[in-house]
Structures are given as C-alpha cells and as structure tokens.
Structure 1
C-alpha cells in the first residue's frame, strides 16, 4: 500500500488571486447588466415618449376630457 502525498495547498496570496479574478467577473457582469438595461429598457422608453409627444395636442386632449365630464370645475362645451 503506497500512499501518495498530496501537494500542500497554496495559501499565501490565495485571497488576492481569487479576489482579482472575481472582481473582473463582477465588473463584466455589471457592465453587461447596465448595457442590457440601457438598450432594452431606457432607449425604447425614451423613443416611446418622443413618439407620443411628437403628435400630442394638449388642447385636443383637454377638450376630450372636458366633453367626457372628467373635470368638476369645467362643464361641457356649449353649456
């Protein structure tokens, strides 16, 4: 029965080496999340707002709400 000896684990500098590796992984993951949010959520939202306000007429919207009776202090047109 010949037992082979396991090599001693390297303990000196282990934390620094692992931390360096995990910091790079964390930075890449965070940059990927930020980019996916920017292009998946923020840009489409900005485009939707720009499209909405490009043709938005506040007076037309006000008149529709007034005619529907939403406002308490403003009666329908013609009354």
Structure 2
C-alpha cells in the first residue's frame, strides 16, 4: 500500500492567486472599518468644534495669558 503522489503542478500559481485575493479582500475590509470607526467620527468632531469656535476670542484669551511675546496684553 503506497501513498498517492501529491499534485504539485500549478500549486504555486493556485496558492499565490488565493493569497493575493485574500490580501485584497482583507485590505478593503480594514479600510472600510477604519473609515467607519475612525475617520467619520473624527470628521464629525472637527465639524462640531469649528461650528462654534471663535478664533478672536481664543486669540484674546492667549494674549491675556501671555502666550505671545510680541503682543502685549490690552491692560498695559
């Protein structure tokens, strides 16, 4: 009783095709998960922040705190 010979012809091409297809599928899946779980919430957070952000008020607060060396507080 002997074992049958394994079919080696075309094995590398079949395995390579399978691995390339799996890599493509996984990369598309990971990019979709990243977009849904990271990118979209980040976009919404930035939009919410800048909707009510007042740069002049922020600048005046930093100026009063002495953050800038070239701008004097308004009390001086």
> Is 1:72 matched up with 2:69?
yes
2:8 paired residue number: 11
TM-score in terms of structure 1 length: 0.87
Deviation, structure 1 residue 78: 2.7
For residue 22 of structure 1, give the secondary structure of its aligned residue in structure 2: helix
Q: Output the aligned Cα RMSD.
A: 1.1
2:51 paired residue number: 54
Q: Which has more radius of gyration?
A: 1
Gaps spanning 5+ residues in structure 2: where?
none
> Is 1:63 matched up with 2:46?
no
